[in-house]
A = this chain, B = another copy of it.
């Protein structure tokens, strides 16, 4: 598995910097014969797209996806699907290479790891890359048509009452600050049996998928961290005979036990830290040495988690579709 690649059998390999000419990726391993057009993918990209409200960055990017291969006369052919999204509104002068390192951003570590970096808009570390994930996720959904995947923001800045979010975000933006968020994703319709023991666990793959999203600092499945504070007698989902097979009395497990899906909804919760780019000054250092203050003047979301929801959906879709194929490989179509 290469470092800019995600997945086992259904793999997404991406490329592109925030302010390069384009971003893109390759989805490989997709089954043949699936109806696919750019309009379907665009629908999901539009959900992630910047510039659509005052709470997300005003950078104007149409994020128009183009499929360049792997689809013939509206159906996937089984070959690799090349995708490109042109970068249109890239204002590179906002990002001088000699600006102080922005704390919370990857500037410093890229410079130290690679010796230098593309400083424009965060380069490869920009959340812009997630547009390609959303494109890949849109295709993944078609591989698992019986599964519905929905992610929503459940908390912003510690506030779970959605009616107070607007004011909170307004205040935050005015203060030049940012806030974190929690996104919950529910995948309904996952059959029992997807996943694999030990290192190919469905929850392990979901954890990698979501922790790898920009700004994510935590991932939990089902009752997650709460289970650590529970007793075994309450953390288990009792089973009973139902008319259509076993039913569960709850879903503390988040639909996964032993790394394998139970047939209940798969529930993943993801913690996004506050946007690292803020207008308030933060003590930092210059690339060439010496203390400095980092002040971000570029355009940014006050709460990156809001735009994170469609990305979480995409990553969950990619993992589930991948595990459907893995299960079919080992156990066949039956079951």
Q: List 27 A-B contacts (CB under 8 A).
A: A3-B200, A4-B197, A32-B331, A78-B331, A104-B236, A113-B195, A113-B331, A157-B230, A179-B231, A180-B235, A182-B225, A199-B212, A204-B207, A204-B209, A204-B211, A205-B208, A206-B211, A217-B224, A218-B221, A219-B219, A227-B272, A228-B272, A233-B280, A235-B274, A238-B282, A239-B283, A332-B333
List B contacts of A137 (CB < 8 A).
Answer: none
Q: Are B28 and A13 in contact (CB under 8 A)?
A: yes
- Which one of A14-22, A45-53, A55-63 is at the interface? A14-22
Cβ-neighbour of A4 out of B28, B109, B236 (below 8 A): B28
Is A129 interfacial (CB 8 A cutoff)?
Answer: yes
List B contacts of A200 (CB < 8 A).
Answer: 1-4
Give the docked Cα–Cα distance between A179 and B234 (Å): 10
Residue of B nearest to A5 (CB): B199
List B contacts of A82 (CB < 8 A).
Answer: 15-16, 22-24
Is A271 interfacial (CB 8 A cutoff)?
Answer: yes
Q: How far is the CB of A154 from chain B (nearest CB, A)?
A: 10
Is A116 interfacial (CB 8 A cutoff)?
Answer: yes
Q: Are A236 and B276 in contact (CB under 8 A)?
A: yes
Assuming A79-B124, A178-B232, A273-B235, is B29 touching A2 (CB within 8 A)? yes
Q: How far is the CB of A107 from chain B (nearest CB, A)?
A: 8
Q: Are B33 and A114 in contact (CB under 8 A)?
A: yes
Is A69 interfacial (CB 8 A cutoff)?
Answer: yes
Q: Are B230 and A273 in contact (CB under 8 A)?
A: yes
Q: Mark A297-335, 1 if CB is under 8 A from B, else 0.
A: 000000001000000000000000000011111111111
Residue of B nearest to A280 (CB): B233
Known A-B contacts: A11-B13, A201-B211. Give 4 more (CB < 8 A).
Answer: A3-B199, A25-B26, A182-B225, A217-B224
- Most chain B C-beta atoms within 10 Å of own C-beta, residue among A14, A113, A180, A225: A113
Give the docked Cα–Cα distance between A14 and B335 (Å): 26
Number of interface residues of A (CB under 8 A): 154
- Which one of A35-43, A144-152, A284-292 is at the interface? A284-292
Contact residues of A between 153 and 210, Cβ < 8 Å to B:
155, 157-158, 172, 177-182, 192-201, 203-210
